[in-house]
Amino acid sequence: MPQTGQTACYGATGAAVIGCAGTGQDGETAAGVTWPDPRFTENGDRTITDRLTGLVWTDDANPAGAPLSWQAALDYIKSLNSRNHLGHGDWRLPNVNELASLVNGQANLVEWLQAGGFHHLLVDYYWSSTTYASYAANAWSVGIYGGIVAGHDKADGFYVWPVRRGEPGNVSLPQTGQTACSDGSGAAVACAGTGQDGESRAGVPWPGPRFVENADGTLSDRLTGLAWSRDGMAPGPDACLPGKRRSLQGAFHLVACLNASRYLGRNDWRLPNRGELATLVNRGQADSAAWLNTQGFARAQSASYWSSSTFVYAASNGWSVNLHDGAVTTCAKPHDIFVWPVRGGQ
């Protein structure tokens, strides 16, 4: 997994920047693979390579010139390939993991991407090729401003940003888990020729089994290298008051208590960052928590969980991931939601 790009730390309830030491925040742990510098390289053919992921994007972030429905977005990509756009016939609508890889822990994502050489960026949502499994008449989109990952009706009008695979990058993004395809109304269809995530299945295939139980009460994710507590409901010894929803600051306090108590024999627990937490989502499942509870975990909740990452655009909020439908969104820091500690990784 790559780092999120977040380098600063913030107050417990507000937007004040504070020192990172001892906070446990994403800005302190900086978990994941370091980004190359520069991250983006202009190729001289109106494309830009992301050296972190190896993906090649059109430098024009709105080549269609207007918002399109989800099916029209897929059809537009087919039209690009039919005329060998920019010398290539293997353009795709990015899946949700690929599109979310462009999110940086910055206050203004658009300005950062413009500095990387992209233009015609819209402060709006962009379509991914991934259907929203909880309700197949919707598809996943990513907000190219703050970075929210949300499901929207496939008939809505959003923007299209073509991508293709280039040379290997510093990281290889995983597949989303989606293997089925559906039309604009949500009806199941054969995948061949659709250009959907269920057909292309771009990314690293998942190992089988993906999760392996360890003797110490953790499960290792063989896809990411992360080790999660088996108990997905704010676990810990009695002294840490486990099993409770907590504010974001309370989540950091729980992790500190786990380390002080050497929970499961370890003292390197942390709150997962936004990207790490999102790896628990299976985009092919209507309820990722229910799926996780069939993979060896216990008490995974179909609810929102805290990450260690702050939503910098409105830093009184933190990033959270909903393990029911898979939305990656924000929550006010004093709000009480669940906590799932992690350790290991890169």
Express each pLDDT in 198-221 by its tens digit.
999 999 999 999 999 999 999 999
Q: Quick check: 226 and 344 in contact, CB under 8 A?
A: yes
Q: What is the pLDDT of residues 277-318, one digit of tens each?
A: 999 999 999 999 999 999 999 999 999 999 999 999 899 999
What average pLDDT does the segment 249-277 reach? 98
- From 166-170, 206-210, 224-228, 294-298, the region with the lowest mean pLDDT: 166-170
The pLDDT mean for the chain works out to: 96
| pLDDT value of position 107 | 78
| pLDDT value of position 13 | 86
Nearest to 71 by CA among 149, 191, 183: 183
Q: pLDDT band for 144, please (50, 70, 90 cuts).
A: very high
| pLDDT value of position 105 | 87
Q: Would the pLDDT of 55 be above 90?
A: yes
What average pLDDT does the segment 3-11 reach? 95
Q: Would the pLDDT of 345 be above 80?
A: no
Q: pLDDT band for 346, please (50, 70, 90 cuts).
A: low
Give the bridge partners for 57, in sequence order. 48, 163
pLDDT above 90 covers what percent of the chain? 95
Q: Would the pLDDT of 32 be above 80?
A: yes
Q: Quick check: 117 and 151 in contact, CB under 8 A?
A: no
Q: Quick check: 24 and 268 in contact, CB under 8 A?
A: no
- What Rg do the C-alpha atoms of the chain give, in angstroms? 20
Q: Quick check: 346 and 225 in contact, CB under 8 A?
A: yes
